[in-house]
Amino acid sequence: MAAEGAPAAVLPFARWLPFEWIVAIRFLREGRVQTAFIIGGVAIGVAVIVFMSALITGLQSSLIERVLTGIPHIQLTPQRDIVRALRHNTPGTREGAVMQAPLQKLKGIDQWQSVMAQVGAMPEVAVASPGVSGSAVVVRGDVSRVIALTGMIPDLYFRVVALPDKIVKGSARLDGTDILIGTELAADLGIGVGDKLNVTGNGGAVTTLTVTGIFDLGNKFVNERSTFMALRTAQTLTALPGGVTSIDVTVQDVYAAEVIAQRIMNSANVEADSWITTNKQFFTAISAQTISMNAIRFFVGLSVAFGIASVLVVSVVQKSREIGILRAMGISRGQVLRIFLLQGGLLGLGGALAGSVLGYAGLTTWMRLTRAVDGSSLFTLELTLGLFGWTLLLATITGLVAAVVPALRAARLDPVVAINA
Amino acid sequence: MRKSYNVGQPNETEVLHGIDLVLQRGDFCAVMGPSGSGKSTLLNLIGLLDHPTSGTIAIGGVETTTLDDATLTRLRGRSIGFVFQHHHLLTAFTALENVMMPMLGDREFTDAAMTERAAALIDTVGLTPFRDRLVGQLSGGQEQRVAVARALAMKPALLLADEPTGNLDTTSADAVFDLLRKVNSDEGATILFVTHNPLLAARCDHTIDVVDGQIVTRGTQVSTAEAGTAGAQTH
């Protein structure tokens, strides 16, 4: 029956849009409750993906940053001594030999300067820093401790390991008679900044060093054992004049460290260990976490796709007569197909926009609520435009793909059957 | 022309048995017959919504039975208008927008041309004050008049009306019929008008009785077309 009086409050017929867009948008608008529900469902799925991705990615980055705080991305060391059996190569004879693995003596990297130059020239490498590592004994009064000493060139080494950021007392200054020690060692020896230590190297040399700084690398064992000093001082203590036992390398992409390490080994006469190899279990855990996150993303995406598909299948049934009439008035199968594909894409896009806002709100609320005792944030978030951009794109594509089957059904409807449905 | 369903299967059923029909340009033809006699099937075939099992259909001299779906769809959109017993308007659109729909899908019209043509047709059917109302806000008779206007949007040579007054009261039915009559005389459209109402049938130029899938004419003989004459032919 006619509703006399007020005209319909409808949006202008956006005729600058193509025909399929006009019909798709109107169909969605006509079933606004249904449309709102499915957009809500998509939004929740997208919000979960955004929330989880930002949180886990941030957590992983934070963990990796903490792992890499005190270690280089790649460490080059001299090749290991190996033992080979003597062979006579006499045909018909077999030699039995008992081989004992040789002791690995402290030795320097052969021609380390040319290795430095070669590695430094690689475009993937950010910094290469030579160093000497060895063991020593520190004595103060009647207390002695075994330490691991690291000698380095501060200007280079501090670009590999940001040691100055970890100084809790004093400074990171390292002249020839200076030493940096950890908090635990300082407590064990009862010393502070400015105090002196007698250090006896494994080569027999003895020297007195002044504590210029005390650091905290976040690991009790490291803080008990590790010490840092100038390269020349360490060379003297380890009886390795002019030599280096390692070259620490920082690369542009931490995840490519293992590949770069292999390339260095193939081209230089050194052993190259990446942080991935030396922290296998940690990296395996990170990889497993990434795989789990991707699996969750996939299944959430799948449920979103099925949600959109099921709504559109129902919509095709509801709109059968209208599809039949459209076909009767000269609308092609292709146009009908595009109408329903567009509905799927618009539902995906609309849900993704709402979900991104929901996810962002959830994340900022989470950050506000989860704080450490000192008020600092427990989590580091990785919120980038790329995350939202990719989410929008993938959700729209998911909507389009989900709409394929319903759209094909709509396009293949027999107009006679549809009109009389 | 013949039409069967479930061809080649044990339950194959022939619905139309050897229909031979010629319509001249400008004819206003009533189609009557009992329920299940094949009237709607005949209209669907002439309207290119369905394919005959054997025989040919020519619209305006164009033989259609060998055309592909895309060409048939285009021909249908430009040459044939439909008015059904239920209006089948798109409820998401206003009266004016429903009349514009065939032109919008055809992509050959500018916005201004579409709006002008649709407004003129709405005016022809006497619904200018209601042009911006959604379909659900119109009465049954008004909806059917919008359906007639929509059927005329592309200036079709042939207009097929399948019991368009079946759901209307007498006054509305007369109004719709008078509108079709006016369209026939003013625009020269050929009209095939299916009805159960003998009073309305009597007001048409010719009457075709369809009984058990065959045409039985009554009263004025339906003429046989000469080669090249506009209209619809089925053999």
Interchain CB contact of A9 with B (< 8 Å): no
Question: For position B231, what pLDDT does the model report?
Answer: 47
Does the pLDDT value for residue A98 go beyond 80? no
Whether B137 and A2 lie within 8 Å, measured CB to CB: yes
Any idea which of A50-54, A67-71, A277-281, B220-224 has the lowest mean pLDDT?
B220-224
Cα–Cα distance for residue pair A157/A247, rounded to 1 Å: 10
Q: What is the pLDDT of residue A15?
A: 62
Nearest to B78 among A327, A330, A419 (CB): A330
Of A92-101, A197-206, A399-408, B23-32, give the lowest mean pLDDT range: A92-101
pLDDT given at position A99: 64
Give burial (CB, 10 Å; 0-12/13-18/19+) of A1: exposed
B117 occurs within a structural domain? no
Bigger pLDDT: B89 vs A203 = B89
Per-residue pLDDT tens for B55-79? 989 888 888 888 998 899 999 999 9
Nearest Cβ partner of B134 from A1, A8, A334? A8
Of A34-48, A175-189, A378-392, B30-44, give the lowest mean pLDDT range: A378-392
pLDDT classification of A10: cutoffs 50, 70, 90? very low
One-letter amino acid identity for A399?
G
**A1·B97 Cβ contact <8 A:** no
What pLDDT, on the 0 to 100 scale, is given for residue A1?
36
Q: Which of residues 396-415 of A touch B (CB under 8 A)?
A: 415
Question: SS in 3 state form for A354-377?
Answer: HHHHHHHHHHHHHHHHCECCCCCE
Identify the domain containing residue B182 by its residue range: 15-91+155-208+218-234
A317-323 long-range contacts (CB < 8 A, ≥24 apart) are A318/A31, A319/A27, A319/A410, A320/A413, A320/A418, A320/A421, A321/A418, A321/A419, A321/A421, A321/B88, A322/B88, A322/B90, A322/B91, A323/A410, A323/A413, A323/A415, A323/A418
Non-local (6+) Cβ contacts of A228 within 8 A are: A149, A150, A151, A152, A157, A163, A174, A179, A180, A215
Structure tokens at A16: 């600058």
Is B87 contained in some domain?
yes
Among A381-395, A404-418, B160-174, name the most confident range. A404-418
The answer to whether B93 contacts A416, with C-beta atoms less than 8 Å apart, is: no
What is the helix, strand, coil percentage profile of chain B, to 5?
A: 35, 25, 40
If you average pLDDT over residues A328-351, what whole number do you get? 93
- Transcribe B7-58 into DSSP letters: TTSTT-EEEE-S--EEEETT-EEEEE--TTSSHHHHHHHHTTSS--SBS-EE
Distances (CA, A) of A218 to A288, A357, A376: 25, 37, 16
For tokens 């009349």, the residue is: B99
Task: Please count the residue pairs, one from chain A and one from chain B, whose beta carbons lie less than 8 angstroms apart.
Answer: 92
Residue B5 has pLDDT above 90, yes or no: no
Per-residue pLDDT band at A89 (split at 50, 70, 90): low
Q: Are A139 and A183 in contact (CB under 8 A)?
A: no
Q: Which residues of chain B make contact with A337, given a CB cutoff of 8 A?
A: none
Chain B interface disruption, residue of A19, A329, A412, most B CBs within 10 A: A329
Q: Per-residue pLDDT averaged across A96-121, rounded?
A: 78
> According to the model, what pLDDT value does residue A136 have?
93
Can you tell me the distance from the alpha carbon of A419 to that of A413, in angstroms, rounded to the nearest whole number?
A: 10
The pLDDT value given to residue A41:
93
Residues of B whose CB is below 8 A from A329? 76-77, 82, 101-102, 105, 150, 153
Confidence of residue B229 (pLDDT cuts 50, 70, 90): very low
Sheet of B231-234: strands edge to edge?
A: B21-24, B231-234, B57-59, B62-63
Tokens of A124: 């993937």
Cα(A267)–Cα(A249) distance, rounded to whole angstroms?
A: 15
Q: Minimal CA–CA distance to B120: which of B192, B214, B62, B186?
A: B186
Q: Band of the pLDDT at A71, cuts 50, 70, 90?
A: confident
pLDDT at B226 over 80: no
Predicted local confidence at residue A143, as pLDDT: 85
Interchain contact, B132 vs A10, CB within 8 Å:
yes
CATH number for the domain spanning B22: value is 3.40.50.300
**Amino acid at residue number A7:** P
Across all residues in chain B, what is the average pLDDT?
85
CA pair distance A366, A359, nearest whole angstrom? 10
In a domain, B179, yes or no: yes
Count other C-beta atoms under 10 Å from residue A20's C-beta.
Answer: 20
Residues of chain A found within 8 Å of residue B132, distances taken between Cβ atoms: 7-8, 10
Contact B132 A3 (CB under 8 A): no
Q: How many residues does chain A have?
A: 421
> Are the beta carbons of B49 and A19 separated by less than 8 Å?
no
User: Which sequence spans correspond to the domains of chain A?
Assistant: 19-65+284-419, 106-268
Chain B contacts to A (CB-CB under 8 A): 44, 47, 49-50, 69-70, 73-74, 76-78, 82, 84, 88-94, 97, 100-102, 104-107, 111, 114, 130, 132-134, 137-139, 142, 150, 153-154
Tell whether the model's pLDDT for residue B21 goes beyond 80. Answer: yes
pLDDT tens profile B112-137: 888 999 999 999 888 999 999 999 99
Q: Tell me, yes or no, whether B111 lies in a domain.
A: no
What mean pLDDT value characterizes chain A?
A: 87
Among the ranges given (A105-114, A123-132, B186-195), the one the predictor scored with the smallest mean pLDDT: A105-114
Q: How many domains does chain B have?
A: 1
* DSSP code for A268: S
CB atoms closer than 10 angstroms to residue B26: 16
Q: Where are the alpha helices (H) located in A226-331, listed in sequence order?
A: 231-237, 257-267, 275-278, 280-318, 320-328
Distance from chain centroid for Cα B112? 27
Chain A hits for B133, CB-CB cut-off 8 Å, are 2-3, 7-8
User: Which residues 356-375 in chain A show a CB within 8 A of chain B?
Assistant: none
Nearest CA to CA, how far is B97 from chain A (Å)?
8
| pLDDT number for residue A407 | 94
- Residue A396, Cβ density class (10 Å: 0-12 exposed, 13-18 middle, ≥19 buried): buried
The interface pTM score, or ipTM, of the predicted complex is: 0.86
In this prediction, residue A6 carries a pLDDT of: 36
pTM across the whole model: 0.74
Chain segment A250-291, per-residue pLDDT in tens: 999 988 999 999 999 998 888 999 998 888 888 888 889 989
What's the pLDDT at A97?
Answer: 65
Q: What is the pLDDT of residue B138?
A: 92
